[in-house]
C-alpha cells in the first residue's frame, strides 16, 4: 500500500463543489450528532519569526463513510516580502481510521480554500432566499474565487459585485468569471445590497455598514479567523438571525469575537449553529426572516471531509503521485 501525494493542482481538479458541499454538510451533521472528534486547535507561537503554527486534527463518521486527518498550517506575514513564500501554507495528512495508514498527503492551502467556500455554500443553501440571483463579495483575494464557485452551486447566481481596495485584484477576479456571470467592480454598499454577501477580508475595523445591507440579505462572514478581527458593523449582528459554526471558535476568533468581548452580543443573540440547522433541530430561513448571518471560523472536520472527497476522486482517476512513505509497499 502506498501513500498518495496530491499537490494544489490535484486538489483543485478533484474537489468538485457538487460533491464537496454535501460532504461538508455531512460533517456539520456528524458534529451535531456527536459522531465527530475535534480537539481544540493548538498553536505554536513563534514571535521571533513573526509567525505561528496551528494543528487541526479531526475524525468524523458520516454514516456511509468515516475519515480522519490533521492539518498543519502556518501564518507568517513576512514570508512574501522576505522569502517570496505565501503567508499561509498548509499540509493535510489524510488517514484510514481503521488502520491509521496515511492514505494521502495533500496541499492544505488549496484544500482550505475549497472547504471554506463549501461551508459558505452550506449556510447559503439553508439561509438565503431561494431565488437569490445576486452575490456581493467584499475582498478579492484567493478566497473570493471559491466563494463564487461554491455559492453558485446552490443558488442561481447571475450578477456578482466584487469590492476591494486593490483594483488589480478586482480586475483579475472580473476577468476570471466574466464569461460565466455578469461580474463587475462595485462599492461595499453595492455588494452588501445583493441577495447574498460574502466578506473575506482580514480587517479589524468593520467595513460593512448596517444601512448598506439589504432587507433579506444573507451574509457569510468568512474573514475573521483571529481574536480582534471584525468585518461587519455590530448592528448587522444584533439585527440578524445569527448562525455560527462552533461556539468556542466563533466567540474566541470569529466575526462575533469583538462584540462578544465588549458585551454587545451574548449567548442569547446566537440563534443556532449550522449543524443544528442541517439536522433539523433548528430552522433555516423561514418566511419571517430578514437579514441572516453565518459566522464561519473553519473547522477541522471540514478539512477531513474535503480530503475524503479529493482522495476518493484522485484514487479513482489515478491522479497524484504514489510513494512508499512507510516502506510497507
Of residues 41, 71, 114, 229, which has the active-site annotation?
71
241 annotated active-site = no
Give the number of other CB atoms < 10 A from CB of residue 98. Answer: 8
Pick the closest to residue 67 from 91, 93, 90 (CA basis).
Answer: 93
- Residues 258, 207: contact at Cβ < 8 Å? no
**What cell does 300 get?**
477541522
Q: Which DSSP letter does residue 77 get?
A: T
- Residues 288, 260: contact at Cβ < 8 Å? no
CA distance 230 to 225: 9
Coil/strand/helix, residue 323: strand
Count helices and strands (H / E) in the chain.
12, 16
Rounded to 10 deg, the angle between the 142-151 and 17-32 helix axes is: 90
Show Cβ contacts of residue 316 under 8 Å, excluding neighbours closer than 6 positions.
none
Chain-centre distance of CA 276, in angstroms?
A: 18
Torsion sign (Cα): 176, 177, 178, 182: negative
**What cell does 228 get?**
480582534
Show Cβ contacts of residue 184 under 8 Å, excluding neighbours closer than 6 positions.
160, 161, 162, 174
Alpha helices in 128-266 (DSSP H): 142-151, 167-177, 188-192, 234-239, 247-253, 257-262
Distances, alpha carbon 197 to alpha carbons 179, 222, 322, in Å = 21, 10, 41
Q: Which residues are catalytic?
A: 71
Amino acid at each position: 500500500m502506498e501513500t498518495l501525494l496530491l499537490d494544489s493542482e490535484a486538489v483543485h481538479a478533484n474537489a468538485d463543489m457538487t460533491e464537496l458541499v454535501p460532504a461538508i454538510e455531512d460533517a456539520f451533521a456528524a458534529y451535531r450528532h456527536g459522531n465527530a472528534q475535534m480537539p481544540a486547535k493548538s498553536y505554536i507561537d513563534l514571535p521571533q519569526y513573526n509567525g505561528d503554527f496551528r494543528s487541526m486534527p479531526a475524525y468524523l463518521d458520516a454514516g456511509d463513510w468515516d475519515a480522519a486527518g490533521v492539518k498543519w498550517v502556518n501564518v507568517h506575514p513576512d514570508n512574501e516580502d522576505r522569502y517570496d513564500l505565501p503567508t499561509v501554507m498548509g499540509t493535510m495528512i489524510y488517514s484510514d481510521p481503521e488502520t491509521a495508514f496515511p492514505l494521502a498527503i495533500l496541499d492544505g492551502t488549496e484544500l482550505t480554500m475549497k472547504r471554506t467556500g463549501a461551508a459558505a455554500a452550506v449556510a447559503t443553501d439553508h439561509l438565503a432566499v431561494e431565488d437569490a440571483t445576486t452575490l456581493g463579495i467584499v475582498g478579492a483575494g484567493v478566497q473570493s474565487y471559491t466563494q463564487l464557485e461554491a455559492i453558485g452551486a446552490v443558488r442561481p447566481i447571475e450578477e456578482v459585485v466584487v469590492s476591494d481596495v486593490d483594483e488589480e485584484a478586482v480586475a483579475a477576479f472580473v476577468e476570471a468569471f466574466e464569461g460565466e456571470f455578469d461580474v463587475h467592480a462595485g462599492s461595499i454598499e453595492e455588494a452588501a445590497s445583493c441577495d447574498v454577501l460574502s466578506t473575506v477580508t482580514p480587517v479589524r475595523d468593520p467595513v460593512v455598514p448596517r444601512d448598506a445591507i439589504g432587507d433579506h440579505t444573507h451574509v457569510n462572514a468568512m474573514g475573521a479567523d483571529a481574536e480582534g478581527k471584525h468585518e461587519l458593523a455590530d448592528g448587522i449582528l444584533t439585527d440578524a438571525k445569527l448562525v455560527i459554526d462552533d461556539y468556542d471558535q466563533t466567540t474566541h476568533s470569529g466575526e462575533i469575537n469583538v462584540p462578544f468581548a465588549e458585551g454587545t452580543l451574548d449567548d442569547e443573540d446566537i440563534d443556532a449553529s449550522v449543524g443544528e440547522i442541517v439536522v433539523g433541530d433548528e430552522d433555516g430561513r423561514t418566511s419571517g426572516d430578514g437579514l441572516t448571518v453565518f459566522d464561519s471560523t473553519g473547522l477541522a472536520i471540514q478539512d477531513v471531509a474535503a480530503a475524503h472527497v479529493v482522495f476518493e476522486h484522485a484514487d479513482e482517476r489515478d491522479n497524484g503521485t504514489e510513494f512508499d512513505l512507510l516502506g510497507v509497499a
